[in-house]
Amino acid sequence: MSGQRPAEPGEVCTCGRPAVLVFLGGTYGDTGYCGLPDGGGDSGPCPFCGGDRHEDRCPDYQLRPETGGAR
């Protein structure tokens, strides 16, 4: 399935901010988007792995990190 839907509470963008939209399917599976295309800006380390920010999606990204949700 591909497309998009509004984000649900607890879903996050690949930058770590709360998601407003979720893109469905694709290469990496469902992916949250916060509406800001800045990759998290200069807001510190990657919120998923603790390392430097990634140019692409972090391999440790989870749409619902507090529940260990789908990557």
- Convert 45-65 to b/e letters by CB count within 10 Å (16 or more is b): ebbbeeeebbeebbeebbbbb
Question: What are the Cα distances from residue 9, in Å, to 2, 40, 53, 59, 64?
Answer: 21, 19, 24, 22, 9
pTM: 0.81
Query: What whole-number distance in Å separates Cα of residue 69 and Cα of residue 17?
Result: 16
Per-residue pLDDT of the chain (71 residues; tens, 9 = 90+): 579 999 999 999 998 999 999 999 988 899 999 999 877 776 789 999 999 988 888 999 999 987 655 54
